[in-house]
């Protein structure tokens, strides 16, 4: 084991997710998609998620104004479109148009979701915590959509059918294969 000269965060893998938001100006909707990987679960009663966006980014500004956002879980099949969402600016281009993603309307919030993503969640903003370079947005999940084609016999998502995408040190990876269930060695 060697010691690195500089501290480096190698927490991995990080999920690749798409965050949707909508800025409404009069009768015109400006829909946006941001690709991020700094995300996680905060709580399950209620269901809270956190997403982290660099300070000053268009998506973060919209979320702070509207107090709502969508979380869309993509598959590796759409890696090109995901990369486009992460390398273009929503205030300059329509990411739905340039990626070809199909939007569908959320039911409880005024945000588009992405048909090609097998899991979509509607979120309302609970809190924003500011750090030196990023802002952490905590959202309450108020509605979840799952593509019926990815469900197992028990009606739960079969993540082996999704081919989830992860981000590791400037690289995209898929998550591979299932190794076992939680507590497979026996509950204590």
Over 80: is that where the pLDDT of 50 sits?
yes
Residue 12 banded pLDDT, cuts 50, 70, 90: confident
What is residue 187's predicted lDDT score, i.e. its pLDDT?
64
What is d(CA 136, CA 55) in angstroms, rounded to the nearest whole number? 10
Beta bridge partner(s), residue 145: 120
Q: Would you tell me how many other CB atoms lie within 10 Å of the CB of residue 151?
A: 14
Q: Which CATH superfamily is domain 14-174 in?
A: Electron Transport, Fmn-binding Protein; Chain A (2.30.110.10)
What is d(CA 110, CA 22) in angstroms, rounded to the nearest whole number? 7
Whole-number percent of the chain with pLDDT over 70:
99
What is residue 188's predicted lDDT score, i.e. its pLDDT?
57
If DSSP states are collapsed to H, E and C, what string results for the chain?
A: CCCCCCCCCCCCCEECEEEEEEEEECCEEEEEEEEECCEEEEEECCEEEEEEEECCCHHHHHHHHHCEEEEEECCHHHHHHHHHHHHCCCCCCCHHHHHCCCEEECCCCCCEEECCCCEEEEEEEEEEEECCCEEEEEEEEEEEEECHHHECCCCCECHHHHCCEEEECCEEEECCCCCCCCCCCCCC
Residue 183 banded pLDDT, cuts 50, 70, 90: confident
Domain boundaries, the chain: 14-174
pLDDT in tens, 99-157: 999 999 999 999 999 999 999 999 999 999 999 999 999 999 999 999 999 999 999 99
Q: Is the pTM of this model over 0.85?
A: yes
**166, 15 contact by CB (below 8 A):** yes
pLDDT in tens, 76-96: 999 999 999 999 999 999 999
Over 60: is that where the pLDDT of 175 sits?
yes
What is d(CA 165, CA 30) in angstroms, rounded to the nearest whole number? 27
């Amino acid at each position: 084991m060697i010691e690195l000269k500089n501290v480096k965060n190698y927490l991995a893998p990080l999920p690749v997710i798409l965050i949707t938001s909508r800025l409404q100006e009069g009768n015109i909707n400006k829909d946006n998609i941001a690709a991020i990987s700094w995300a996680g679960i905060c709580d399950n009663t209620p269901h809270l998620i956190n997403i982290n966006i660099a300070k000053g980014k268009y998506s973060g500004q919209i979320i702070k104004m509207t107090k709502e956002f969508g979380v869309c879980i993509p598959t590796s099949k759409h890696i090109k479109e995901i990369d486009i969402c992460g390398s273009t600016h929503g205030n300059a281009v329509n990411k739905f148009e340039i990626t070809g993603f199909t939007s569908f309307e959320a039911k409880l919030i005024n945000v588009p979701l992405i048909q090609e993503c097998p899991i979509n969640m509607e979120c309302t903003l609970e809190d924003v915590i500011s750090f030196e370079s990023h802002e952490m947005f905590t959202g309450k999940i108020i509605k979840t959509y799952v593509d019926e084609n990815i469900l197992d016999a028990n009606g739960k998502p079969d993540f082996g059918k999704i081919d989830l995408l992860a981000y590791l040190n400037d690289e995209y990876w898929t998550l591979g294969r299932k190794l076992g269930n939680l507590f497979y060695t026996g509950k204590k």
